[in-house]
Chains A and B, each alone.
Chain A
Amino acid sequence: MTAPLIEVEDLSVLAGSTVIVDRASFSLATGSRTGLIGESGSGKTITALAMLGLLPDGLRATGTVTLNGKDLLSRSERDLVELRGNAMSMIFQEPMTALNPVMRIGRQIAEPLRMHQDMSRPDAFALAVELLGSVGIDEPERRARAFPHELSGGQRQRAMIAMALSCGPDLVVADEPTTALDVTIQAQVLRVLRDQIVANDAALLLITHDLPVVASVAADVIVLKDGAIVEQGPASQLFSAPAEDYTRQLLDAVPPMSRSLSVPPKHLPVTGAEPVVEMRDVRKTYRLRHRKLRDPIHVIHAVDGVSLDVLKGETLGIVGESGSGKSTLARIMLGLIRPTSGQVVVEGIDVTARKNLRPVREIAQIVFQDPMGSLDPRMLVRDVVAEPLRALGIAGDHRARVTELLEAVSLPADTGDRYPHEFSGGQRQRIAIARALAPGPDLLIADEPVSALDMSVQTITLDLLDQLKADFDLTMVFISHDLSVVHEISDRVVVMQRGRVVETGPVGEVFGSPQQQYTRDLLAAIPRLDGSFLGPAA
């Protein structure tokens, strides 16, 4: 066997005396594709940053990282600068913030070429255009002159891949490269990433919390837990017969849809119930200001003629990609956004009338995606949960009610006396759920409630929502871009695209035998644990 390209031995990363990465050892061969998996806080990103010598201030790495036989950790910054972007490069998660907003895409891609290969400005730019073409961007010449905000999320991430590969690196580290993208875009970007890595004969270290994504791209897997490597080996072996309990737990948390598209749904549709929500031909249009005087006025149909009922006691899943209008629809249901036209009635109350906002709030409540952003950091959890009671002027013993609610969402009794930042993402989402339940609503709308959570926490949170639905006698609207999550929790599903309902029906029917091409495309884009969904490398 040839010497490995990169060899990591006893790599530890310390913040003061806190151990973040604990004696990690692994090696990557030339042209290999390895997944580094683990839950948030397991030290995946820090491991990668340590390898590139890019640790944030205050963190210190020990051990050895050898690239092509030379140790990196003992190298001077001057030597590392020569290697970064050249022999090793990195693709980051959020391409909007990871690209410089005030510099044209082409120049950002050309930058490593100018530095490492002494290319002239026009030559480097020409090559950048070529690279953009090779990652599948249309009109690469024009996109190269665009600023990051003028590109879509998928295009930005493709540009990021082009940038990382520009100098033909031996090692590419990709840190959650598709987590911020829609499922169909994710499939395209993963395919480009894999094909480009193969074409360049580079080694890939793919960091992700998403096991099916790893299975699609990587041949080998390293499992990280609390900074230490738990298990490593070939993906096929590790995913079929894990040796460690922790790996098995991670696998168990993978939604059934990622194993097989033909799994039966957990829930059957409710029949013969009264509608709680009735929407009739609801539309919401936004007019965009024109950029130039001669531009036509741009009208966006965020919600474009939607009619649907939510039946008492059911969980209605709404799936769609970003921009499909699903969140706008949820906010219209709550009266947070007034529709341009159409009727919205919740338990007989016309939601579109401003005077009805207060009664609607007692009936319908919402849980948002980001449990950090949607909780006031300067309020005690007790006050956060009690706030809807005060705001709606609901009488009674608020303190007792809060205790009862926190217990219902399985949070410890002392939770109320602490602040939101003291809790993990999953716990914060429970706080948000407790707050939504405070006024005793009949209808709970959950807008991407588990998208920011680790997979194992997702499962627990979904089970909790199911339990609460039964305990509190709720009707639920569950919105997500993630089909497998919707499959887990819904009785009935609505598929949305560009503001319209494409397909609707019981979960088993829509996912089992989709009638529309769009639904089929969405289902086909779900990464599969058997690694089959990308097809063979080009």
Chain B
Amino acid sequence: MYVIRRVGVFAFSVFAASVLVFTVMSILPGDPAQVMLGTQATPEAVDALRTELGLDRSLPVQYLDWASGAVRGDLGTSPFSGQDITPQIIDRLKVTIPLAVMAMALTILISFPLGVYAAARHRRFGDNVVSIVSQLGLAVPAFWAGLLLVTVFAVGYRWFPASGFPGWDVSVWQSLKSLFLPSVSLAIVQSAIITRYVRSAVLETLREDYIRTARSKGLTRSAALWRHGLRNAAIPVLTILGLQFAALTAGTVVIESVFVLPGLGKMLLDGITRRDLPLVQGGAFTIAVLILGLNLAVDLTYRLIDPRVSEQ
């Protein structure tokens, strides 16, 4: 029942997102036909093209046309390049998704141990060091961290490329390497945030009665934390991870520009500057679906961690 309800919520949200994206794009100034033909075009030519593109139909009809395409995986054609949008987006996702996943993996690798460590050393030296470092991490903008990383590790040491992306079919290893610095710059801020949440979630759990019970059974402090604390602490952290993953996906737009990566964010930015509205519409919708899918995944993961969830 829980799963069905969650999937239902997901489906409805995708529908709502599609309506929202479509409506916003239709309200925005900039007629695709005008854009394609340039400023010199005669009004007659523009009108003819509008008819050809179906832009003279009513908005609901246009929406249905676009949405029924989207359901079949066809997001239309870019009036600017004349190419199909879906294959372009898939190409771009091959950069953006690995980038986001790598950044999130780094975030988890950094923040979980740090947060648990800080909680275990509550109000002692180690905890304070972690607090200060995470404050610093929060204060650093991702693009600036990116530039700094490039200066040191790409320009200085030449361990990683400064920008660009060779493509997975050219070299998997080189592709991973070119994604590394961008994911680190994204992970810095995220780790700072998540570390704080992990720390406070673990501290909260350590104060729970069942930790005291566990210790009364003969578990050491650390055994009580590992066996009883962490799984309980994971519940609130998971919520934040989901939200932050969404923030991180949005953050890829900036980072892809800094590192000149051919990702979805870069495509959106280019699309906006060129007023390629159908392309932007497809890209924005894709990001919305990605984030909603992620939230669905988080909701379903709750069930694995917390037996109480499915019964409410």
Quick check: A52 and B216 within 8 Å, CB to CB? yes
Contact A112 to B210, CB < 8 A, known contacts A100-B228, A101-B232, A147-B308: no
Q: B209 contacts which of A98, A116, A292, A293 (Cβ < 8 Å)?
A: A98
Q: Do A147 and B307 touch across chains, with their CB atoms under 8 A apart?
A: yes
A99 and B209 CA atoms in complex are apart in Å by: 7
- B 287-312 contacts with A by CB, 8 A: 305-308, 310-311
Interface size bucket, B side? Answer: 20 to 34
Decide yes or no: A94 and B209 within 8 Å by CB, A85-B216, A86-B218, A102-B307 being known contacts: yes
Least distance between B31 CB and chain A CB atoms (Å): 49
A84 to B219, CA, bound (A): 8
Does B19 touch A at the CB level, under 8 Å?
no
Contact B1 A115 (CB under 8 A): no
- The reply to whether the CB of A394 lies closer than 8 angstroms to some CB of chain B is no
B217:A290 contact, CB within 8 angstroms:
no
In the bound complex, residues from chain B placing their C-beta under 8 Å from that of A103 are 228, 231
B213 in the interface (beta carbon within 8 A): yes
- Interface residue? B24 (CB, 8 A): no
Q: Which residues of A are found within 8 Å of B217, using beta-carbon distances?
A: 84-85, 89, 111-112, 115, 163
Q: Digit string of A113-131 for contact with B (CB within 8 Å is 1, else 0)?
A: 0011000000000000000
Q: With an 8 A cutoff between CB atoms, is A90 at the interface?
A: yes
A98 to B209, CA, bound (A): 5
- Known contacts A100-B228, A289-B1; decide if A81 and B213 are in contact (CB<8 Å): no
Q: Taking the complex as formed, is B51 at the interface, i.e. its CB lies under 8 A from any CB of chain A?
A: no
Residue of chain A at shortest CB distance from B305 = A102
Q: Is the CB of B218 within 8 A of A292?
A: no
Whether A149 sits at the interface, judged by CB under 8 Å, is yes
Partner of A85, one of B1, B218, B232: B218
Note all chain A residues with C-beta closer than 8 A to B306.
Answer: 101-102
Whether B220 is near chain A, meaning CB under 8 Å from some CB there, is yes
Q: Does B6 sit at the interface, judged by CB under 8 A?
A: no
The answer to whether A517 has its CB under 8 Å from any CB of chain B is no
Which residue of A97, A111, A291 contacts B219 across the interface (Cβ within 8 Å)?
A111
| A433 and B310 alpha carbons, distance in the complex (Å) | 40
- Asked if B11 CB lies within 8 Å of chain A CBs, one says no
- Interchain CB contact under 8 A, A84 and B210: no
The complex places the Cα of A43 from the Cα of B260 at a distance, in Å, of 66
- A291 to chain B minimum Cβ distance, whole angstroms, is 6
> In this complex, what residue of B is CB-closest to A160?
B213
Task: Say yes or no: is A417 at the interface (Cβ < 8 Å to chain B).
Answer: no
The A-contacting residues of B in range 226-257, CB under 8 angstroms, are: 227-228, 231-232, 235
Which residue in chain B gives the minimum CB-CB distance to A289? Answer: B1
Shortest Cβ gap from B50 to chain A (Å): 49
Mark contacts of A164-178 with chain B using CB atoms, 8 A cut-off: 1 yes-contact digit, 0 otherwise.
Answer: 000000000000000
Which residues of chain A from 62 to 103 have a CB within 8 Å of any chain B CB? 77, 81-86, 89-90, 92, 94, 97-103
The answer on a CB contact under 8 Å between B218 and A97 is: no
Q: Quote the shortest CB–CB distance from B217 to chain A (angstroms).
A: 4
**Is A54 among interface residues, defined by CB-CB distance under 8 A?**
yes
Q: Give min CB distance, A410 to chain B, whole Å.
A: 35
Of all chain B residues, which has the CB nearest A147? B307
Whether the pair A149, B218 counts as a contact (CB closer than 8 A) is no
**A102-B235, A116-B218 known, 13 other contacts, Cβ within 8 Å:** A84-B216, A92-B213, A97-B208, A97-B210, A100-B210, A100-B232, A101-B232, A103-B228, A111-B219, A112-B218, A163-B217, A290-B1, A291-B310
A-B contact pairs, 9 of them (CB 8 A): A82-B218, A84-B218, A97-B210, A101-B306, A102-B306, A103-B228, A111-B214, A149-B307, A290-B1
7 A-B pairs with least C-beta separation: A85-B218, A85-B217, A97-B209, A90-B216, A84-B218, A100-B210, A98-B209
